[in-house]
Amino acid sequence: MPVTTTSAAVHITPVVFKTFLKHAKRKGIKYKDGDDTIQGWDDILYDEAFHIVKAFIEFGTRNTVESLQAFTNTRVPAPFWCAVVPVKIPLSSCNKAADALIEWFGPEELKHVVGGERWWQIRGLEWIDAEWITEKAFLEDSDRTHHNKLSEDENTILRMEHLDRVMLYVHGGAYFWGSINTHRYQVIRYARKMHGRAFTVNYRKAPQYPWPCPLQDVLAAYFYLTNPPPGSVHKPVHPSKLVFAGDSAGAALCLTMLTVLRDLGMPQPAGAVLISPWVDLTHSFPSVMKNTATDIIPPHGFIHKPSPLWPVYPKSEGGYTRVVPTKTRPPPQPGHADKLKPDNERLMDQVEQRLQQSADAGKEVHSADLRDPPEDITSQKEMQRDDKDDPPATEEGTSTDDEQVGQDGSKYDIAMDFWEPKPPKVLMEDPNATPLELLAQIQLYATTEQLSHPLVSPVLQSSLGNLCPLYIIAGDGECLRDEIIYIAHKAAHPKDYPARPGVLREGRRQKENAEKFQTPTKVHLQVFDDMCHVLTVFTFTDCAKYAYRSIAQFVKHVTDNSSEHLLRNPFPELHRPPSDISGSEEEDEAHPSTQHPSSKFRRSQHAKHPKGHRAPLDEDNRTDVELYRSNEAIAEREVQQGQAERLPSDASSRTAHEASGEDIPAVLMIRERVDVMGNVRPMEPAEEIEALQLKPQEIGIIKEKPVRRWLAGQEEWDRKYKRAAENVIRKRKKYEAKAARLLEHAREQGLIHDEVGPQESRASQAASISSESVGEIEVERRWGPLDLKDENPPPSAIAGRRDTGEAVALLKKTIYHNAPATHRTVPKLKTSDAVRAVFDPEDHPTKPPQQSVSEQQTHAQLVPVHGLRMWQSLVELFMRKSTKQVQRGKKHASSALRSTSDKISGVGKSPSQSTTRPE
């Protein structure tokens, strides 16, 4: 059963009842035992919502990738009180982003690491879907901005222009699911809290559009905002008024985008908010294995029912196995993937070895099939002892063998075309064991060889210094906790957390960046007790309400103050006098445009400061604004008591600033933990945090435990979906035949194509279009699926595939409807193909076929209320419940205070002096 509203409801409903019963039982046991410790699970609303989200994600793994993508990329209407305007980021902005990435990579890295410069620029749509979002209450009077020649949406964009605080929000979803629709309810809340506008982007997703496709799209959004193309309604957004924000994969894309802008010398935004950023795709930190039970991430990672799209190899039989004992000696060393760009010696060794073994076997032998003599396969300890794969870098950061390459470039190019990286080796727990080799791609976003690239796993950046101020949030119960804590400290202390030598040697920019960007980045890190991945999903919890308020204040502070001011103090908590928070922002959350958070949990329990201890009674029933004010004072005490990290500066200068009532200057990093009620406390010293004790050589390494956990789940899925995998193979053959027929008929109808590139003008190209064709040549569309000569796209990328329905749809559109500039003709669709399309649910006889669900939004047809809208309604219900409960709590507290006051004031009075209020 695919992922639909009905199937999701059927799967999740029993979870709701089961969670309720377990919650009641657990609370009863705690009450009976007199256990007064406070945990996130004690809030029934969070307990239910956590298990609903976890159950949905696990349900998604029992379906195909495309099914989950389609469900979460379905267009759903926005609430009536919100101003949401869909816009299209044009190809011109996409091309600016592509040019920036081409400059960043350079020709060698593009060819050998990325796989070329063309395949990742190919897309089905002529635009990227995006949205402007704000509160209708914030819009300027239409009488002042209305233009008769503009549409209603365009006039709405103009009515937002006075809101100069802009948040570019990049949604999460493990790089392969989710959309602007799944996260709109969160983004609306940010826009409301910061009294500004937000811009969200529906970037292309893996595995159809793997790395660096999503990175190109979010960069295109940045250029669209800061340098609008002709015809755009909005004015340029100055980077000083812009903040990047994102969660999970989206937060990692924001961080990666910052490093690209920094490296290219382009303006960075005023700040960035990173919520649970996924920055290490190799899963090399301890919390990945320790926090599975307390997180929403599936136990075996993101594995899925086989489909023509994913996995690339749907069956483990037939000579293909996902993980095997190693058959070759190093390189690569255990824990590492092989080089995508080898040195000269490695290259010639493999050419010789493959040619020899191919001759012996009587067929072509690939690198995954290479075998060394069994007596040469040693234990991991012996392999590491004889580590020849990590020679010292030269002054230029490359091995000396590379200097020999230029002596005979033609032979080198031929050898490079023959080169295939050997399978990655797994770092074993037992040093005496023989390492395993990975033959399958684990992550959907990138190949295993690419996982250690700094633009894939930002934790491996040689430096995270010289970035704009960062506000980083993590849940203490999430699997990614350790890597989040690590990157926060790495950004604030570039010299103390270097990248491992292999990253410096292999990356063209990394050695240069390690020396160039040593200025510490100012960071505010908060780790929330008991919270799971992306705690802001659960908007109704007390700590999430505080997080939204704190994020809003950060956005206001960095966009409202000058760059000179932010150099002195980027932290709103240390702003003096404290920034204003209008009274309207404290109103009831039940009214759409205002907020007034709290919950039954806050009312029934008391906050803890050091973990497990109760807070004073007067800390109950506070709004998020009151809570923020309280935490603001705590942050100041942290600075005064030396618990916040400060930059070296003159002590007397600090005292003078603080005495004069100005901002508290020279603070480098604020490190805090936040309890389930939203109260902050200083974080323990770095020396006591396990994640910060890892050596650089241990980070970005493929380790045994995560691999075995993934493999156990994959083998279970192989058994469970054996028949589905067999059907996938048959379907792929049908799609390949369909693509071949499509190409053959297109050539018969006059398709002429070359690879010169987008050089001719539209006028000269238009003459080549068939008068009977419904299509056109898009000048800004640089490349199409027929332009991949000398390219090596990843196996899952649909640009290079012909064996999935989405790949065929992309091929058909770029031939018959919106051809790239390399096409000289747009042929007319053959009548027989049009007839077939009538009876094909994946096709259309006259219009372009629906493009990949990883790119193009779908529309709900059968069910009037989509599951995403139901989830948003559920969150709103929880918010209303929590608000009403705190209002009742406040009334009760006020009544109790009045009663106590009356009793106290009546102590010194005679009975005759006392008055009695009538019943």
Show which residues are catalytic: 248
Q: Is 159 helix (H, G, I), strand (E, B) or coil?
A: helix
State how far the Cα of 635 lies from the Cα of 721, in Å rounded to an integer. 53
| Tokens linked to 7 | 């199937």
Q: Are 169 and 245 in contact (CB under 8 A)?
A: yes
Selection from 830, 836, 840 nearest residue 772 by Cα: 830
* Cβ-based neighbours of 777, under 8 Å, separated by 6 or more: 762, 765, 766, 768, 769, 819, 820, 821, 823, 826
* Cβ-based neighbours of 362, under 8 Å, separated by 6 or more: none
State how far the Cα of 444 lies from the Cα of 281, in Å rounded to an integer. 10
Q: Is 516 helix (H, G, I), strand (E, B) or coil?
A: helix
Alpha helices in 244-291 (DSSP H): 249-263, 287-290
Angle formed by the axes of helices 867-905 and 65-72, nearest 10°:
60
Pairing of strands 776-777, 271-275: unpaired
Amino acid identity for residue 234 in this structure: H
Selection from 660, 662, 672, 664 nearest residue 647 by Cα: 664
State how far the Cα of 513 lies from the Cα of 504, in Å rounded to an integer. 9
Q: What is the dihedral of CA 394, 398, 401, 404, to 10 degrees?
A: -100
The distance between the two most distant Cα atoms of the chain, rounded to a whole number of Å, is: 115
Q: Are 213 and 101 in contact (CB under 8 A)?
A: no
Alpha helices in 460-518 (DSSP H): 481-492, 501-506, 510-516
Burial 747-783 (b: 16+ CB within 10 A, else e): eebebebeeeebebeeeebeeebeeebebebbbbbbb
Q: Are 59 and 9 in contact (CB under 8 A)?
A: no
Q: In whole angstroms, what separates CA 423 from the centre of its chain?
A: 27
The 10 Å Cβ neighbour count of residue 740 is: 11
Q: Is 352 helix (H, G, I), strand (E, B) or coil?
A: helix
Q: Are 20 and 44 in contact (CB under 8 A)?
A: yes
CB burial class (10 A; 0-12, 13-18, 19+) of residue 708? middle
Lookup result for tokens 């100055």: 238
Q: Are 816 and 760 in contact (CB under 8 A)?
A: no
Amino acid identity for residue 816 in this structure: Y
Q: In whole angstroms, what separates CA 240 from the centre of its chain?
A: 23
Selection from 798, 711, 899, 673 nearest residue 312 by Cα: 798
Selection from 609, 611, 608, 475 nearest residue 531 by Cα: 475
Pairing of strands 645-646, 242-247: unpaired
| Tokens linked to 474 | 């993590």
Q: Is 649 helix (H, G, I), strand (E, B) or coil?
A: coil
Selection from 256, 117, 328, 338 nearest residue 793 by Cα: 117
Give the sign of the dihedral formed by CA 271, CA 277, CA 8, CA 844.
positive
Size (the chain), residues: 919
State how far the Cα of 919 lies from the Cα of 71, in Å rounded to an integer. 58
